[in-house]
Structure 1
């Protein structure tokens, strides 16, 4: 009997980007050898990318789709405009998002795999554009409006034309463009679709769009609404919707997710792999493990370290371990280090084997402005390292566990509160020891074996048409 095949639809992650969701994907692949996986990777670049992981043997293929390219469907069937016309009419008259979602689902179901690009060249589509322009954007230039619409919908059009090969089930760790490919697979092949959210995708995109300079303010609500609608569609179409912690489910419920299809499956790690004895060392070592990226807000961490140094003095070391997301942000961080005269305190180590460094840390610092359920916190806890983390994602739930506090949670972008928390732990070794013991106990709830077993049960339950309550 052939093994079950899972179609894994990814967007800008595995196997070309390390950390976060990519590590989660690799863990899933390597711990479910009885399943075959076919990977579809959506990317926004045309250049060849370097694979950063050793692809497991149970991955039968890795496909790529450039969502901003000139992708043309092989289908001779032209997309049907009727559902799109109903969406625009609803938008213009009632502006009822939930009914728009229903029409959008009809459009995706009717047009999955058809040549949607041909539709863009029809008079009917042009009339729809003019109606939107006259209703909402008549004070803007028509040329600007046209190209803004094209930029908005090009990746949507491309993914709607793409149908993945037949699999027994499709799994998408996102509600973005990748979820539309997953829906195509579900509708065309009549198989289940699992959506997993680590962070809340539409919230993350909303933050990016608000801060962006390339989208004029007049068009930002339109972009934000698109990602909200895609999330609502994904929630409604999916056969199971998993996330990492309860707070995420609140956001999902607000957009109409069905509680009967919702499950919490926390991330997990190999606890024994990180259960490392501490190493004796001089001074006080604060560690940062993660990408050097704006979302990790390393600059707030550096500002906090500057204040901590006034108390700890030359005994303080701040080790930054992880790949660089953007060279310009790395340059900004290094410039800040120079301005604050921290060259003898802060070390940028780049990617390292973190297992060699957790035993050296007196404390792990996480300064992110957005997270799901950070694996680095779990890894540090397994090594008995106390945590100072921003109040994002599941950090509060993990660190302030009912079975024992493992560190201190502070507001995001607040370097003063962050520095006070670090100083408190520096000055109170007994508290650090307590947090260390609690961390080793609490992390047992986040074992990789538990996570894998829940996904195994979910896959089997959905494909056998049995109840999913075993999860």
Structure 2
């Protein structure tokens, strides 16, 4: 049983899977700014990672209103089970009977087992904290159930591969619930994804009956997870050289997809409120089981006060270098950002508009292999004098050097660099993914005009067309920048976003007691 909520240790508990405070991405940056902007609320952090040895140094100094940081690592071999009392690690096998009954139903009827998943989760909360996973895995009842499931559904697959996949799926879930007693009591739980974070958040609001549960998603977690699974090499390999994507989804891969769809539905159904950053992703949330009545759209926001200094610094640079033509990229250098497309566009742009330069700012440590490939492509395209990789950089430092921001990514989210560019009055050219069209062209009730250009994915020649058009026309460049700034002022201020989240916290938590 989870702790009592009689004396919550925090007003808000943030459930963070692989992000703040160890990551410097847009989600983590938004979390830090939100905590810092609400100094009268106490925040507890519940961080879910993979392995402790892979954990980085904290990327942020925790604000004073963070009361505690709890960490669990779901793929550690030396997990918290080693800290269980010795007598509790191996309970009698009979304690698993209710759990196995629920698991049997979920495994055999994945498409129609929502209520049973709730009951299974409740059994896990009762059982996992007092038991080592290996003891459950070796239980004769578990072995019998998994063998029956194999013979019914997966008899064409290798039994060894089947067991490996099922253990890899169940063990982190067991460890998540094993750590449930360490979840800080709070008046409201806020998860920034579905997945493991949404799963434990759903249980927190059930067992802390008076607590609210909020899910907000930068990009739709389940869509991202499905795409990763469809391209994963470890779940199952092609047979006779035939790709699973040519013959349909292989059974073991589908097992993982079904699991994450089920957990997403459980999280959505348990949430009191669900937030998306733009309407298209809100529609995706509804497709995966979220009640549209519980979904609201709250975009990311930009600090116009902070960007004002950037805007002035950029204007001064342009006064000194009025003919400057610099295209900038700001973001992580990885395959989802499709930097290679930008390099191809750079070659076309430089040929058509000599003197154009490209600055690529961002960290490469997440995918060094991709970064190496990008540098090789730069050499192959003879762009060494045109394109510079300048490494990680803060937006405030690098935006004054940009005349146009170019983003060539392929993931469904709201790119925060676009908001920074708007604040600095910089036009934007971006691929038609996520919220880019909504940002650049405006929502249906927005008649400000275009703050840049939107181009198709994987069409470098069209991106080059847009860059040449804006860079060649100072009047167009200025108009696009002015429209972007006006749109940020009207729709995307950090102050307004923080106020909306504060209202949500108040509504979901009841009256929140602030610091004395």
Distance 2:275 2:385 in 1: 45
CA displacement, residues 345-404 of structure 1 (integer Å, 9 cap, x when unaligned): 111111223223222211001111104211110010111111011111111111111222
Give, in angstroms, the shift of residue 2 of structure 1: 9.0
Distance 1:332 1:81 in 2: 53
Q: Is the 8 A contact 1:304 1:416 kept in 2?
A: yes
1:453 equivalenced with 2:460 (yes/no): no
Distance 2:99 2:276 in 1: 31
Q: RMSD in angstroms over aligned alpha carbons?
A: 2.1
Q: Is the 8 A contact 1:305 1:318 kept in 2?
A: yes
Q: Is the 8 A contact 2:276 2:282 kept in 1?
A: yes
1:49 equivalenced with 2:53 (yes/no): no
1:320 equivalenced with 2:360 (yes/no): yes
Distance 2:382 2:126 in 1: 57
Give, in angstroms, the shift of residue 271 of structure 1: 1.2
Q: Superposed, which structure 2 residues align to 1:19-168 within 5 Å?
A: 19-47=25-53, 48-70=55-77, 71-72=79-80, 74=84, 76=88, 80-82=96-98, 85-86=101-102, 88-89=104-105, 92=108, 95=109, 97=111, 99-112=112-125, 114-115=127-128, 117=133, 118-163=135-180, 164-168=183-187
Tell me which of 293, 297, 305 is aligned to 2:346.
305
> Structure 2 regions of 5+ residues with no counterpart?
1-6, 237-243, 245-249
> Which has the higher relative contact order, 1 or 2, with Cα contacts under 8 A spaced 6 or more apart?
2
Q: Is the 8 A contact 1:85 1:128 kept in 2?
A: no
Tell me which of 224, 231, 243 is aligned to 1:211.
231
Distance 2:282 2:118 in 1: 22
Tell me which of 146, 153, 169 is aligned to 2:188.
169
Report the 3-state secondary structure (helix = DSSP H, G, I; strand = E; otherwise coil) of the residue aligned with 2:296.
strand
| TM-score, structure 2 as length reference | 0.85
Give, in angstroms, the shift of residue 11 of structure 1: 0.9
Distance 1:42 1:346 in 2: 38
Give, in angstroms, the shift of residue 306 of structure 1: 1.1
Distance 2:466 2:412 in 1: 20
Distance 1:259 1:21 in 2: 23
Deviates more, 1:303-312 or 1:128-137: 128-137
Q: Superposed, which structure 2 residues align to 1:61-460 within 5 Å?
A: 61-70=68-77, 71-72=79-80, 74=84, 76=88, 80-82=96-98, 85-86=101-102, 88-89=104-105, 92=108, 95=109, 97=111, 99-112=112-125, 114-115=127-128, 117=133, 118-163=135-180, 164-190=183-209, 191-216=211-236, 217=244, 218=250, 219-275=252-308, 276-277=311-312, 278=315, 279-280=317-318, 281=321, 282-313=323-354, 315-324=355-364, 325-401=366-442, 402=446, 403-444=448-489, 445-460=491-506
Distance 1:326 1:180 in 2: 28
Distance verdict in 2 for CA 1:96–1:129, change over 3 Å: closer
Distance 2:137 2:8 in 1: 41
Q: Is the 8 A contact 2:333 2:363 kept in 1?
A: yes
Q: Is the 8 A contact 1:87 1:100 kept in 2?
A: no
Distance 2:479 2:416 in 1: 21
Give, in angstroms, the shift of residue 255 of structure 1: 2.1
1:463 equivalenced with 2:503 (yes/no): no
Distance 1:384 1:90 in 2: 53
Give, in angstroms, the shift of residue 90 of structure 1: 5.9
Give, in angstroms, the shift of residue 86 of structure 1: 4.4
Distance 2:73 2:421 in 1: 37
Distance verdict in 2 for CA 1:86–1:111, change over 3 Å: closer
Distance verdict in 2 for CA 1:3–1:89, change over 3 Å: closer
Q: Which runs of 4+ in 1 moved over 3 A?
A: 1-4, 72-92
CA displacement, residues 102-147 of structure 1 (integer Å, 9 cap, x when unaligned): 2111211232253262432322222221122112211122111111
How many residue pairs match? The answer is 462
Distance 1:31 1:167 in 2: 19
Q: Is the 8 A contact 1:286 1:318 kept in 2?
A: yes
| TM-score, structure 1 as length reference | 0.93
Q: Is the 8 A contact 1:81 1:119 kept in 2?
A: no
